[in-house]
Homo-oligomer: A and B are copies of this chain.
């Protein structure tokens, strides 16, 4: 017989969350109290009465997703995970914000069972949730059959004023409203306080009006009224055609006699005895700290088990569904396992030998083959689909047609930042391999999301075309110069700048084979000649990040290292240098990070000591600097580009074979 949740017990549980928060922040000496304390009631109610999850199996694919977009309220999430019986012992709560604990300052995907996503940089979580909701709807459409099977879950995000002020939240909400994501519910923690003071010192817009203008279903509730919350949440879940916003009034630092409602309650710990006063006010014993009363423990243990029990029931229903839809199930399972056919690389590589084209065009062909080999891809562009070559032909568009979530393509609109975070959300869902597309120069609009993909180690793919000044006439605002190198700096992001179709195919194959982190592809606008590889070459050499493309017959005077469209240039220059008696090796570096990760022996075989090295890249080239050394030459860009045809720019900035030859000769004093 289940214990009844009396109002007193409920309050005791909420105050347990608040007490754990106060104590954890006090033990850490720093942390965020206010939002966790203010949200304890509605979010506990959400978890207790509404969300479907299994503490014994945090990765249950049919679970509802919970995203704490305001990640600074991490102690709220950790408290709930602990109390509901996830593998997060009290000891870890005590180690909040300590080195190596499962309770970092902000929730980190992978560090803590039940944490769906790394949050903290504001607005990102909300946009991730939009991605998860798209993935949920797409799962239901592609695999679910009507109302059964996978994809029936909801995605619930908690977002605060900071999230709401970030541009990415508007972008993501605009697209969510446009697509009618009825499986998305956002609880807006309307506590009217930010770090610098009351919200209205800088934020006075009408949030209800804003979301209604963006085609959302909006309700306003008092966060302390659990009955109202239940009614509103049920209405939100029932709303199938629009995302729902619950504007939830809370009081930051709820329970603190002197800090509640003030901006100083955002961060902590409490000072001047306010922790004691707050605990007294809330009826939390001062000692021991990290107190969980037996009756709270009993109730929460029951609830954790009940969640697991409910999951077992769902398993039974799911088995029945599986029995009647074996093909759907098999397809869904194959997607989640990311199964690839045996001849995968061969299929991707077909016909690229000797094929001259822009690498973005090669990439478009590969994307088509990827989808045909395994229809697990879900991709789109930020209003540049034709230029980015990201559209999967005959695979439909999300938001269009009779079944608006059956498509494999997505029109993101001019929303690069949300596109990045939505791509991450789709990756986190775990069913699809998502990719995005825009011009490389606009990777700057997406960097916070790129970084989070790298930090989480998730398989987002970011296609960036028009990867150098050879964008041409659109001019310096559209010509990347520093971007390839700026991407190479992000730890855990694998950047490919492929030189021809073979490198493009193998870069995509690397992505499909390695789901452990994000990949960025920098692709040319202009046509580039297919490489003639004289040296022994296996396509898998591309995965070494750097390899010899061209070798002089005997002797070695200089090594030209290059990437992307400059490898063919370097080859041409090497050939000209040869006729002048300067013996040049050409090294292609499709991925500077992968090359830097090879062992010394391999690196030394490709770029030995004692031979002058010239790096050639139509960008800053700083990412190749280590191979060149201080006295070597980086033949790259030292300024922004200019508006002109790419042929004029090649001349002007020295990226023709004769100009490169001249630069190499000067460098070698020959």
B contact residues around A177 at 8 Å (CB): 204-205
Query: Contacts A165-B171, A196-B385, A639-B491: A412 and B475 contacting too (C-beta < 8 A)?
Result: no
- In the assembly, what is the distance between CA of A87 and CA of B475, in Å? 21
User: Which of A209, A413, A472 has most B Cβ within 10 Å?
Assistant: A413
B contact residues around A64 at 8 Å (CB): none
- In the assembly, what is the distance between CA of A649 and CA of B454, in Å? 20
- In the assembly, what is the distance between CA of A348 and CA of B629, in Å? 38
- In the assembly, what is the distance between CA of A482 and CA of B451, in Å? 10
Closest to A649 in B: B99
Which of B414, B416, B475 makes the CB contact (< 8 A) with A108? B475
Identify which of residues 441-490 in chain A touch chain B, using a CB-to-CB cut-off of 8 Å.
441-442, 444-445, 447-448, 451-452, 454-455, 472-478, 481-482, 485-486, 489-490
Identify which of residues 258-280 in chain A touch chain B, using a CB-to-CB cut-off of 8 Å.
none
- In the assembly, what is the distance between CA of A492 and CA of B178, in Å? 40
Closest to A483 in B: B489
Per-position 1/0 for A194-226, Cβ under 8 A of B: 111100011111111110111100000000000
The answer to whether A214 and B203 have CB atoms under 8 Å apart is: no
Verify if A638 is at the interface (C-beta below 8 Å from B).
yes
User: Which of A105, A197, A478, A628 has most B Cβ within 10 Å?
Assistant: A105
Verify if A668 is at the interface (C-beta below 8 Å from B).
no
Verify if A174 is at the interface (C-beta below 8 Å from B).
yes
B contact residues around A171 at 8 Å (CB): 165-167, 170
Smallest CB separation, A13 vs chain B (Å): 26
Closest to A161 in B: B414
The answer to whether A475 and B214 have CB atoms under 8 Å apart is: no
The answer to whether A165 and B477 have CB atoms under 8 Å apart is: no
Among listed A119-127, A247-255, A329-337, A573-581, interface-contacting one: A119-127
Which of B119, B451, B485 makes the CB contact (< 8 A) with A444? B451
Per-position 1/0 for A382-411, Cβ under 8 A of B: 011111000000000101100000000001
Smallest CB separation, A414 vs chain B (Å): 4
Closest to A447 in B: B444
Among listed A182-190, A292-300, A583-591, A640-648, interface-contacting one: A640-648
Smallest CB separation, A164 vs chain B (Å): 8
Per-position 1/0 for A607-619, Cβ under 8 A of B: 0010000000000
Which of B445, B489, B638 makes the CB contact (< 8 A) with A486? B489
- In the assembly, what is the distance between CA of A195 and CA of B475, in Å? 18
The answer to whether B474 and A120 have CB atoms under 8 Å apart is: yes
Smallest CB separation, A328 vs chain B (Å): 29
- In the assembly, what is the distance between CA of A625 and CA of B627, in Å? 10
Which of B72, B167, B451, B627 makes the CB contact (< 8 A) with A630? B627
The answer to whether B489 and A485 have CB atoms under 8 Å apart is: yes
The answer to whether A30 and B178 have CB atoms under 8 Å apart is: no
Verify if A418 is at the interface (C-beta below 8 Å from B).
yes
Verify if A374 is at the interface (C-beta below 8 Å from B).
no
Closest to A179 in B: B202
Verify if A162 is at the interface (C-beta below 8 Å from B).
yes
- In the assembly, what is the distance between CA of A638 and CA of B201, in Å? 40
B contact residues around A197 at 8 Å (CB): 411
Query: Contacts A174-B203, A209-B209: A491 and B481 contacting too (C-beta < 8 A)?
Result: yes
Verify if A98 is at the interface (C-beta below 8 Å from B).
yes
Verify if A80 is at the interface (C-beta below 8 Å from B).
no
- In the assembly, what is the distance between CA of A644 and CA of B28, in Å? 9
- In the assembly, what is the distance between CA of A577 and CA of B75, in Å? 44
Verify if A359 is at the interface (C-beta below 8 Å from B).
no
Which of B106, B490, B644 makes the CB contact (< 8 A) with A474? B106
Closest to A638 in B: B491
Which of B204, B386, B442, B640 makes the CB contact (< 8 A) with A178? B204
Smallest CB separation, A499 vs chain B (Å): 22
Verify if A512 is at the interface (C-beta below 8 Å from B).
no
- In the assembly, what is the distance between CA of A555 and CA of B486, in Å? 38
- In the assembly, what is the distance between CA of A473 and CA of B455, in Å? 16
Closest to A413 in B: B202
B contact residues around A622 at 8 Å (CB): 489, 622-623, 625
The answer to whether A175 and B195 have CB atoms under 8 Å apart is: no
Smallest CB separation, A559 vs chain B (Å): 12
Closest to A164 in B: B414
Verify if A85 is at the interface (C-beta below 8 Å from B).
no
The answer to whether B210 and A215 have CB atoms under 8 Å apart is: no
Query: Contacts A121-B442, A414-B166: A383 and B195 contacting too (C-beta < 8 A)?
Result: yes
Verify if A118 is at the interface (C-beta below 8 Å from B).
yes
Query: Contacts A167-B418, A205-B178, A643-B106: A626 and B630 contacting too (C-beta < 8 A)?
Result: yes
Verify if A71 is at the interface (C-beta below 8 Å from B).
yes
The answer to whether B204 and A97 have CB atoms under 8 Å apart is: no
B contact residues around A418 at 8 Å (CB): 167
Verify if A104 is at the interface (C-beta below 8 Å from B).
yes
Query: Contacts A203-B178, A205-B177, A472-B30: A106 and B477 contacting too (C-beta < 8 A)?
Result: yes
17 A-B pairs with CB atoms under 8 Å apart are: A97-B475, A105-B475, A118-B477, A120-B477, A121-B442, A162-B383, A166-B167, A166-B415, A167-B170, A167-B415, A170-B171, A194-B383, A201-B397, A201-B413, A206-B212, A491-B639, A627-B630
Ranked nearest first, the 9 interchain pairs of A and B with the lowest CB-CB distance are: A167-B167, A209-B213, A104-B643, A202-B413, A120-B477, A99-B644, A170-B170, A482-B489, A444-B447
